[in-house]
Structure 1
């Protein structure tokens, strides 16, 4: 999730656990700091765009390492504030703050390596977008109330945590419903799919994007919970299966295939090989689109990949999002309707 959300969650969790045992500002401050710490790995440059992506949310998001780190941080905080008697309580609070960060990240589609060093599998439920005000605002309001009026604010903080947690449950239920709608739509339209990806459009859990991967093609569609019918308009694209098989040993491609759980596309343009993460973005604009170079460049040794992603115009994208969310059937920004036959 975004940094503001992780700060708000960290503060809310720490305030809830510490209660009146210490000043609310202390627990809110250290909750915010601990809630930010796992994302400091984003500042590490591995010298390769694909590596920067797949190694983010790695060791710093692993439950095992965060559990080992939590007593050290709790000892530091309790000594700094002269609250040695509260060491165990600080330990519990900061441990919960640290581990709820990657657990929340796991609710997004990106991929979080929770179980390192035992496995580097990137877990991703994909039921919430990386920025979702409906999740974040209750946490912020609860923490602000706790800071402004501790007597009643602690209850407001607890309510904020309850509401945000309930929203996550709702997101999973909505995702499962849309997945069922998508499977039925694929069956009715005779579209073969090996795997299905269902993720929310930005900032909400009403409009959903669905990607169905087939042997040679993938299909993309959108479904809003406010649509008048369950029919999904699927648009089909070449996934580059032959290219992927031919270049399967290319390091960047191999890593992307594993990290995306197979939701990737391979293209070649003027001899340059490109791989695209189909999970984040939508046609024709994707956040993670990588240039893996030419065969000649790769033959000379490891070549750093370069990110070449495209983003939708914000104003145009928000207008489409709001209209499509309300059930209006529209093509995503940048797509052109096929000419009539």
Structure 2
């Protein structure tokens, strides 16, 4: 999640855990500080763009290492607060603040390596966007009320309510994600898709909400992308189909950067030739044609073969019309049947239509 959310969560957890055992401002200050510490790994340069991406949210987000660090940080907190007799409570508060940071990050789609050093698997539920005001505002409001009501009875209750509401929102996000995935798989099955229940599918919320969801369906040599709102009613989702670049993958699959990215993205990637270079794109974050993470991994050679490159980040969201995109986001969330600005909608098909991958006999039956 974004830094504001992590600071707010850390401060709220600190206040809730310390209770009346210390001044709330002390617990909030220390909680906010510890809540942002794990993200300092973003300042480390690992030598290339792919490593910098895939090694973010690694050791500093691992539950094991954070647990080992918690008593040291708690001792510092107790010393600075002049409350060494309350070291045990500071330890609990510090540990809870530290571990809730990566657990919240794991609710996004990025990938958080919670189990290091035992496993480097990047966990990512993908049910919340990296910035979501409906998660963060309850934390900020509850914390602000608790800190402002000095001496008032029950003043810590607002902070607890804020924590409860934000946690319930995370639960809602998982439920909404499940609803959308079931709806899409049901629509594909109704269209006669034999792989509807097993096909790899990514369901993630669009920016700042959990009403409008982006869906990516992997189809071997292609992938389909579409958008589903909880307010769409009974309308079947529509998808656009794109080439995935598997022939290029056969040529670069052994490059370390490609191996790392194909695993880190859980298979949601594509390869394409661009300006004489082979570019690997993470399909999980962004949307056609604008993606957050795309890396040039090799250069085409005049002779047969490729020249490996030190991975560099390319593309991004240049050319994206922010105002038009936000207006589309609002309208589409409310149920408008449209694709975002810049989206190649001319290649779309409804989920209720037979998919091009289906054999002719099944396609005819689906009609």
Task: Please state which band the TM-score falls in when normalised by the shorter chain.
Answer: over 0.9
Question: Residue 243 of structure 1: CA displacement?
Answer: 1.4
- Aligned to 1:228, the other structure's residue is in SS state coil
Question: Residue 244 of structure 1: CA displacement?
Answer: 1.2
State how far apart, in whole Å, the 2-side matches of 1:280 and 1:189 are: 28
Q: What's the counterpart of residue 278 of structure 1? A: 283
Question: Residue 19 of structure 1: CA displacement?
Answer: 0.7
Residues 247, 116 of structure 1: CA spacing in aligned structure 2 closer, same or farther, 3 A cutoff? same
Q: What's the counterpart of residue 157 of structure 1? A: 159
Question: Residue 90 of structure 1: CA displacement?
Answer: 0.3
Contact kept? 2:299, 2:307, Cα under 8 Å: no
State how far apart, in whole Å, the 2-side matches of 1:229 and 1:221 are: 16
Residue pairs, 1:187-336, within 5 angstroms? 187-190=189-192, 192=195, 194-295=199-300, 303-311=309-317, 312-336=320-344
- Aligned to 1:266, the other structure's residue is in SS state strand
State how far apart, in whole Å, the 1-side matches of 2:81 and 2:322 are: 45
Residue pairs, 1:76-225, within 5 angstroms? 76-150=76-150, 151=152, 152-190=154-192, 192=195, 194-225=199-230
State how far apart, in whole Å, the 2-side matches of 1:253 and 1:190 are: 34
State how far apart, in whole Å, the 2-side matches of 1:186 and 1:60 are: 41
Q: What's the counterpart of residue 21 of structure 1? A: 21
Residues 301, 116 of structure 1: CA spacing in aligned structure 2 closer, same or farther, 3 A cutoff? farther
Contact kept? 2:240, 2:344, Cα under 8 Å: no
Alignment TM-score, normalising by the size of structure 2:
0.89
State how far apart, in whole Å, the 1-side matches of 2:296 and 2:155 are: 51
The superposition leaves residues 9-30 of structure 1 with CA deviations (integer Å, 9 ceiling, x where unpaired) of 0000000000111011100000
Contact kept? 2:301, 2:307, Cα under 8 Å: no
Cα RMSD (Å):
1.8
Alignment TM-score, normalising by the size of structure 1:
0.95
Regions of 4+ moved over 6 Å: 299-302
Question: Residue 339 of structure 1: CA displacement?
Answer: 8.7
- Aligned to 1:153, the other structure's residue is in SS state coil
State how far apart, in whole Å, the 1-side matches of 2:250 and 2:192 are: 26
State how far apart, in whole Å, the 1-side matches of 2:347 and 2:88 are: 67
Contact kept? 1:185, 1:230, Cα under 8 Å: no
The superposition leaves residues 69-96 of structure 1 with CA deviations (integer Å, 9 ceiling, x where unpaired) of 0000000110112100110000000100
Give the paired residue count: 339
Where does the alignment leave 5 or more consecutive residues of structure 1 unmatched?
Answer: none
State how far apart, in whole Å, the 1-side matches of 2:258 and 2:347 are: 34
State how far apart, in whole Å, the 2-side matches of 1:338 and 1:189 are: 20
Question: Residue 269 of structure 1: CA displacement?
Answer: 2.9
Question: Which structure: larger Rg?
Answer: 2
Q: What's the counterpart of residue 69 of structure 1? A: 69
Where does the alignment leave 5 or more consecutive residues of structure 2 unmatched?
Answer: 349-367
Contact kept? 2:216, 2:223, Cα under 8 Å: yes
State how far apart, in whole Å, the 2-side matches of 1:277 and 1:3 are: 22
Question: Residue 231 of structure 1: CA displacement?
Answer: 0.5
The superposition leaves residues 243-287 of structure 1 with CA deviations (integer Å, 9 ceiling, x where unpaired) of 112211012111110000000001123531100000000111100
- Aligned to 1:20, the other structure's residue is in SS state helix
